[in-house]
Amino acid sequence: MRMSILIAVLLALLALLATLQYRWMGEVSEAELQRMRSSLRADVFRLTQEFDGELTRIYRSFNLQVDFNDAGDSFGHYGWLEDQYAHRYRQWLAVAPYPRLVHDLFWVDMDRSDELRISRFNRETNHLELSSWPAELADWRGRFTERLRNRGMAFRPSFGTALDPTVEDLPELVIPLRHRPRFSDGPRLNPPAIVGFSVVRLDRIYLEQEFVPALARRYFPGTEGMSDYALVIVSRRNPERIIYQSDPKLSASVRSSPDAAATFFTLRFEALQNRPADGFSGRIDRPGSFRRGANFAAPGLPPIPAPRPEGRWQLTIKHRGGSLKDVVGSARRRNLMISFTVLMLLGTSMTLIIIVTQRAQKLARQQMDFVAGVSHELRTPLAVVCSAGENLADGIIRDQQQVKQYGGLVLNEGRRLTRMVEQILEFAGIQSGRRIYEMRPIRPGQLIDSALAACEPHLKEADIQLQTEIENDLPLIKGDSAALIGSIQNLLINAIKYGGVNRWIKLQAQAMTGKRGQEVRITIEDKGLGIARTDLPHIFDPFYRGRVVLAAQIHGNGLGLSLVKSAIEAHGGRVTVKSSPGQGSVFTLHFPALPRTARESFK
Ligand code: ADP
């Protein structure tokens, strides 16, 4: 009872532990998912920040401003501009971590007949040279001219226009050049006018094939190897144009259900606002010659447009293991499986410990019962032997008939004592592993005859009606004859002891062929007490005695059947029993029969 309460408490504790574990792992997984998400977003942000930072640095470097107080009104040459370009180029190169980003530098302004013209800055000669329009700028030029025509000189393009992904998908930065009017013009009424554009053409091949992959590798190490994330960058204007993909096989899935996404390839205006460009004052010391009429400014517009989050490109990223949720989910399932396995092991170990403890307790109890039983069993024959001896010694018994009777009594009790001592010794031998069987081919009939001869006195004393059915020509079996005779004897003596008032025993021996091949079966049947269903699973345990026989005070020590079982199993056979209380019992010894060849050689 106490044990079952303990088991119930332990099981409840295990169930509680499992529930807590399950919940706790749910929370841990959720936290892990959040952590992975925010770390991924932070990495994506840093990557795009670094990319845009480089663009912004270029923008700052070539973002000039001319002060017309100093510029003068001369037209026709670009000396000031060329000096500025040469100077800023040098400065930019000195600090640029990716100097190959800038491919070319152009200047765009209006000629005398209000046509847009373009000049390329020659870095060797440090001169601006009129050039033809690069093909990729043709579109931009067309739309820009259109706008100028529609809105006249009052049109003032913004940074945003220059980089708007819905307008352009070019590797160019278009930077307006502003001119600060003379103080007398009234700075508030006349904001800086735009006199032309610096166009920085980026190296598209370097940008897409080296710069972007290098950033991807840095922020998502091993992106091209077996990194945890797959990454795709596409043009926002034309999403079919893939700029970079770390794993082409996963691209479709990355784009359809990304773990994180960001747009970039834009200027980080916030970094530009109210700050002079890297070390540049923005003030022009020696102005060049610009045509003042080419003023693109419209009064009243803010000098710098508000920051715009858009970019020309879009980055999408996804965990290779499916998605972050899937990855965390499968890690959680794995953890749960491990934890539950550990809990199950714990539960199993606890159950095993309880079972072993119960068995040990039972064994200890049985041993105590055994000691008590054996002492009791010894006392009766010893008392009989002593009193018989005393009577004989005192000369009380003189009559020949009585002496014979006393002799028989002493002999019987002596046999009982011998049998008990032998059983105890045999049990001790089996337990310690010292019992060695001498295996020889034997005729089953011989075994039966010897066992019956040994039991003769018991059978006679109990006045048993013995019925035998022994098949002729039984196959040979292999075994230790002493041990096997002892086993049959044990079963016979049990049948006599527990055979009740019917005093009938049947001994059968036959050869049968079953699933395990040919075997010899020796069956001993009685019509006595039978065995209760609750006792049946335990009767082969050492020291176990049925409740009915204990109550009926039938002598015994509970060792016989355990000895039979050990001996028969050591011979490769088995013992089976069929019994119903009040009806009787049938014990059968099954022995594997020796193959015919072995039998021939034995004859
Ligand atoms: P013991 O006979 O000394 O009690 P055994 O090991 O031979 O020890 O038998 C164990 C128990 O099995 C017996 O106590 C009895 O309850 C039951 N048993 C064995 N043989 C029979 C039988 N033929 N009929 C009824 N019960 C039996």
**Residues 521-579: pLDDT tens digits?**
999 999 999 999 999 999 999 888 999 999 888 888 888 999 999 999 999 999 999 99
313-351: pLDDT as tens digits: 899 999 888 888 888 888 889 998 999 899 899 988 988
Asked if the structure places residue 397 within a domain, the reply is: no
For residues 47 and 31, give the distance between their C-alpha atoms in angstroms, rounded to a whole number: 24
- Count of domains observed in the chain: 3
Per-residue pLDDT for 154 more than 60?
no
Alpha-helix runs per DSSP H in 62-134 = 68-71, 79-95
Q: What is the pLDDT of residue 172?
A: 78
Q: Whose CA is nearest to atom 21 of ligand 1?
A: 494
CA distances 443 to 187, 470, 478, 566, 603, Å, are: 130, 12, 9, 21, 11
35-57: pLDDT as tens digits: 988 999 999 999 998 998 888 88
Strand order across the 517-526 sheet: 465-470, 504-514, 517-526, 584-592, 574-580
Same domain, yes or no: 128 and 258: yes
Same domain, yes or no: 470 and 518: yes
Highest mean pLDDT among 218-222, 290-294, 370-374: 218-222
CA of 478 to the centre of ligand 1 (A): 27
Q: Is 539 in the pocket of ligand 1 (CB under 6 A)?
A: yes
Asked if the structure places residue 271 within a domain, the reply is: yes
Confidence of residue 491 (pLDDT cuts 50, 70, 90): very high
The minimum-distance atom of ligand 1 relative to the CA of 495 is 23
Q: What is the pLDDT of residue 478?
A: 92
Same domain, yes or no: 318 and 196: yes
CA of 526 to the centre of ligand 1 (A): 12
Same domain, yes or no: 562 and 592: yes
Q: Going by C-beta distance under 8 Å and a sequence separation of 6 or more, which residues neighbour residue 269?
A: 159, 304, 305, 306, 307, 308
Q: Is 287 in the pocket of ligand 1 (CB under 6 A)?
A: no
Domain end among 342, 359, 376: 359
Same domain, yes or no: 85 and 195: yes
Exposure of 368 in the CB half-sphere (CA atoms within 13 A):
6
Same domain, yes or no: 299 and 353: no
Identify which has the larger pLDDT, 285 or 318. 318
Asked if the structure places residue 410 within a domain, the reply is: no
Same domain, yes or no: 152 and 166: yes
The β-bridge relationship of strands 102-110 and 116-122 is: antiparallel
Q: Is 522 in the pocket of ligand 1 (CB under 6 A)?
A: no
76-91: pLDDT as tens digits: 457 888 888 999 999 9
Same domain, yes or no: 353 and 489: no
CA of 494 to the centre of ligand 1 (A): 6
Which of 458, 498, 523, when mutated, tests ligand 1's pocket best, judged by the most ligand atoms within 8 Å of its CB?
Answer: 498
Asked if the structure places residue 204 within a domain, the reply is: yes
CA of 1 to the centre of ligand 1 (A): 28
pLDDT mean over 474-489? 93
Which of 423, 427, 464, 494, when mutated, tests ligand 1's pocket best, judged by the most ligand atoms within 8 Å of its CB?
Answer: 494
For residue 173, give the 3-state DSSP assignment.
strand
* Residue 235 · residue 243 · CB < 8 Å: yes
pLDDT mean over 574-594? 95
Would you say the C-alpha torsion 400, 406, 409, 415 has a positive or negative sign? Answer: negative
- φ, ψ of residue 536 to 5 degrees: the values are -50, -45
Q: What is the pLDDT of residue 108?
A: 85
Q: Is 589 in the pocket of ligand 1 (CB under 6 A)?
A: no
Same domain, yes or no: 93 and 174: yes
* Residue 454 · residue 489 · CB < 8 Å: yes
Per-residue pLDDT for 5 more than 90?
no
For residues 198 and 177, give the distance between their C-alpha atoms in angstroms, rounded to a whole number: 7
CA of 593 to the centre of ligand 1 (A): 27
**Portion of the chain with pLDDT greater than 70, in percent:** 82
Which of 531, 538, 557, when mutated, tests ligand 1's pocket best, judged by the most ligand atoms within 8 Å of its CB?
Answer: 531
Identify which has the larger pLDDT, 22 or 4. 22
478 DSSP assignment: E
Q: Is 559 in the pocket of ligand 1 (CB under 6 A)?
A: yes
Residue 460: which CATH number?
Answer: 3.30.565.10
Q: What is the pLDDT of residue 293?
A: 35
Q: What is the pLDDT of residue 279?
A: 31
The minimum-distance atom of ligand 1 relative to the CA of 524 is 23
Highest mean pLDDT among 62-71, 173-182, 559-568: 559-568
Radius of gyration of the chain (CA): 54
Q: What is the pLDDT of residue 274?
A: 41
Q: What is the pLDDT of residue 347?
A: 87
CA of 382 to the centre of ligand 1 (A): 23
Asked if the structure places residue 414 within a domain, the reply is: no
Q: Whose CA is nearest to atom 16 of ligand 1?
A: 546
Q: How high is the mean pLDDT of the chain?
A: 81
Same domain, yes or no: 270 and 343: no
Per-residue pLDDT for 282 more than 60?
no
Domain end among 359, 374, 409: 359
pLDDT mean over 261-284? 54
Same domain, yes or no: 56 and 192: yes
Asked if the structure places residue 430 within a domain, the reply is: no
* Host H or E run for residue 84: helix 79-95
Q: What is the pLDDT of residue 125?
A: 93
Per-residue pLDDT for 275 more than 70?
no
CA of 545 to the centre of ligand 1 (A): 6
Same domain, yes or no: 118 and 28: no
Q: What is the pLDDT of residue 151?
A: 55
Asked if the structure places residue 529 within a domain, the reply is: yes
- Determine which of 308-312, 422-426, 531-535 has the lowest per-residue pLDDT on average: 308-312
Print the domain residue range for 241: 36-329
CA of 490 to the centre of ligand 1 (A): 9
For residues 238 and 274, give the distance between their C-alpha atoms in angstroms, rounded to a whole number: 34
Asked if the structure places residue 142 within a domain, the reply is: yes
For residues 295 and 192, give the distance between their C-alpha atoms in angstroms, rounded to a whole number: 9
Q: What is the pLDDT of residue 68?
A: 53
Q: What is the pLDDT of residue 307?
A: 41
Q: What's the first-to-final CA gap in the chain, in angstroms?
A: 61
pLDDT mean over 368-377? 76
496-507: pLDDT as tens digits: 999 988 899 999
Query: pTM, whole model, 2 decimals?
Result: 0.54
* Residue 321 · residue 256 · CB < 8 Å: no
Q: What is the pLDDT of residue 572?
A: 92
Confidence of residue 363 (pLDDT cuts 50, 70, 90): confident
Q: What is the pLDDT of residue 592?
A: 94
CA of 157 to the centre of ligand 1 (A): 110
Identify which has the larger pLDDT, 168 or 422. 422
Q: Whose CA is nearest to atom 7 of ligand 1?
A: 560
Q: Is 529 in the pocket of ligand 1 (CB under 6 A)?
A: yes
* Residue 293 · residue 179 · CB < 8 Å: no
Domain end among 329, 346, 377: 329
| Neighbour tally for 427: CB within 10 Å | 20
Q: Whose CA is nearest to atom 19 of ligand 1?
A: 494
Q: Whose CA is nearest to atom 3 of ligand 1?
A: 556
Q: What is the pLDDT of residue 77?
A: 55
